Structure 1
Amino acid sequence: MTKQLPSTARSLPIALIRAREGLMSPIREMLETTGITEQQWRVLRVLTEFGRMDTKTLANRSSLMFPSLTRIAATLRDKGLVTQTRDTNDRRRQFIEITKNGQQIIDEHTPQALKIVAGFKEKLGPKGYEELLDLLARLDPDANP
């Protein structure tokens, strides 16, 4: 007989899913009036932080699978929130950039997003918040050791 699995109350995958739901609930509430999804918000946030970038890098930094990013980028483009251009040297490579309208959504919701983050920091304490981010980074397969 093999050793029993840990209780689901102490299962890391289950705990992460529960925590994700707790984290995303206020973000979803914030996004209700924007007409964009949490994945679209992530893409716009990454573009705001890093600027124009190729789709492969954007997918990675947004924590999205490439086919999902392709679909999301098309939706954002149709909404006028991003532009897509092809690389002049490699026609297969595309670049995505946030538009003024996309940036406006980020700018209008930054105060509320900052309040959400402040609530997480209050719940965990500033040190606990940073420690949690550091611990989670250690589980990221794409992070540097």
Structure 2
Amino acid sequence: MLLLRAREKMMERFRPLLSAHGLTEQQWRIMRALHERGPLEPRQLSDLCTISSPSMAGVLARMEATDLVTKERFAEDQRRVLVSLTATSLELVEALIGEVEARYAELESQMGRQVVERVYRAVDALLEGLERT
């Protein structure tokens, strides 16, 4: 419950920004992942963005319909698909990144850099430990 409460409090800082640009949290996570990693397959996006495969299929279909992503089939295996950002979404990500980073900087200013760094280290350690089990 504590981690869920912390996540919710964090998202309160970002939801209005995403909504103002017509994006959902899931869409933003996908766009950030593609921006940081380049084109990916849907299952890779599901893992990175912690979105279930059935939900991912729906989100990607809506994103493709609104020109936020493109899907391209692999030539050697037509069952596999590669998802990429469009010029529209790339422009949107680049516009939003500055605002997102400013909100993180504001958080750091309010909470203190050391507190934020300790939280990151603790969550990284927790995730690492959970992945080993």
TM-score (normalised: structure 1) = 0.83
1:133 equivalent among 108, 120, 127 = 120
**Counterpart of 1:140 in 2: which secondary structure?**
helix
**How many angstroms apart in 2 are the aligned matches of 1:144 and 1:46?**
23
Q: CA deviation at 1:143?
A: 4.8
Q: Please name the residue that 2:29 is paired with.
A: 42
Aligned with residue 43 of structure 2, among 56, 68, 77: 56
Structure 1: 5+ residue stretches without partners: 1-13
Amino acid at match of 1:109: L
TM-score, normalised via structure 2 length: 0.89
Letter in 1 for 2:8: E
Q: How does 1:113-128 map to 2 (within 5 A)?
A: 113-128=100-115
Amino acid aligned to 1:76: M
Matches within 5 A, 1:73-88: 73-88=60-75
Inter-partner Cα distance in structure 2 for 1:58 and 1:17: 22
Higher alpha-carbon Rg: 1
Bigger CA drift: 122-131 or 69-78? 122-131
Instruction: Show the counterpart of 1:71.
Output: 58
Counterpart of 2:72, as a letter, is T
- CA-based RMSD of the aligned residues comes to 1.8
Supply the AA of the counterpart residue of 1:124.
M
The residue matched to 2:23 in structure 1 has which SS? coil
**Cα displacement (A) at 1:37:** 0.2
Aligned match of 2:7 in 17, 20, 37? 20
CA separation of 1:72 and 1:119: change in aligned 2, threshold 3 A: same
Residue of 42, 66, 83 corresponding to 1:96: 83
| 1:8-56 deviation digits (Å, cap 9, x = unpaired) | xxxxxx2112111110012101012211101100000110001111111
Residue-by-residue CA offset, 1:61-85 (whole Å, 9 max, x unaligned): 1121111111111111001011001
Give the whole-Å Cα distance in 2 for the aligned partners of 1:97 and 1:37. Answer: 18
SS in 2 for 1:53: coil
Larger helix proportion of the pair: 2
